[in-house]
Amino acid sequence: MTEEIHSMCSRCAKRTCTPFIKSNEAPVKDGAPDFCPMKLMPDVLENVKEEYRKPDVQEFARLASVQEYECYERVDGGMRTKNPRILELIQFAKKNDYHKLGLAFCGGLAKEAQMLTDVLENKGFEVISVCCKVGAEPKESIGIRSEEKIMGPDNFESMCNPIAQAELLNRQNIDFAVLLGLCIGHDTLFIKYCESPMTVIAVKDRVTGHNPLAALYLTSSMYYSRLMTKEEY
């Protein structure tokens, strides 16, 4: 049986898709590795071009790239970054003429949600927010056993309710949803049910101050080298 080749950009050393050439030159894609999606599925890339020709999609993509551009500045000696993501969020929302922002946040980051609401309101946005525990439904209602409750078997524990977060924001006709600190899986459900465009301002990582890449950066030291040990799955 021959093994099917699948795209593996994360293993690519050639980066043929990011050529350092002048704008009047054309990228040469032949040198890409065999696992390059440009070689494996050129039809997909052709179809995607059609999608970008839709005026609303093209405009959204254009504004996203303008936003990307504005996050850098050329200075003597090179290029440097200048905007934290929260500022990027404000700028991008204004570019798109979004006024009503829907903040879906984790109850564990209520303080941060309050601060973010202050920032966004101070910049002129209306902020509609919904906490993950909305509904106060017991975790048992989705089949969680008492020994699986974080606060112990004898205590009531509200389930995280990302579907309700999404539907409540859908009902309030938000322009743009912002996710703050939802857990893995809960964020998946929110994304599935949210009907508006959305972005993530921060993901939850309980041990790194919500910076999951910190653990990645520590894999070469003893602190998180265990992430690299091989396991059967």
Which residues in this chain contact ligand SF4 in the complex, by CB under 6 A?
A: 9, 12, 14-17, 32-33, 36-38
Query: Rounded to an integer, what distance in angstroms lies between the CA atom of residue 153 and that of residue 48?
Result: 50
* Residue with smaller CB distance to ligand SF4, 30 or 154: 30
Query: Rounded to an integer, what distance in angstroms lies between the CA atom of residue 95 and that of residue 74?
Result: 22
Q: Which amino acid, 171?
A: R
* Residue with smaller CB distance to ligand SF4, 36 or 116: 36
As measured in angstroms, the least distance from the Cβ of 11 to ligand SF4 is 8
* Residue with smaller CB distance to ligand SF4, 44 or 64: 44
Contact between 188 and 163 (Cβ < 8 Å):
no
As measured in angstroms, the least distance from the Cβ of 33 to ligand SF4 is 5
As measured in angstroms, the least distance from the Cβ of 212 to ligand SF4 is 22
* Residue with smaller CB distance to ligand SF4, 38 or 119: 38
As measured in angstroms, the least distance from the Cβ of 13 to ligand SF4 is 8
From the list 216, 214, 200, 223, the residue with the least C-alpha distance to 109 is: 200
> For 57, how many CA atoms within 13 A lie in the half-sphere containing its CB?
7
What is the pairing mode between strands 198-202 and 126-131? unpaired
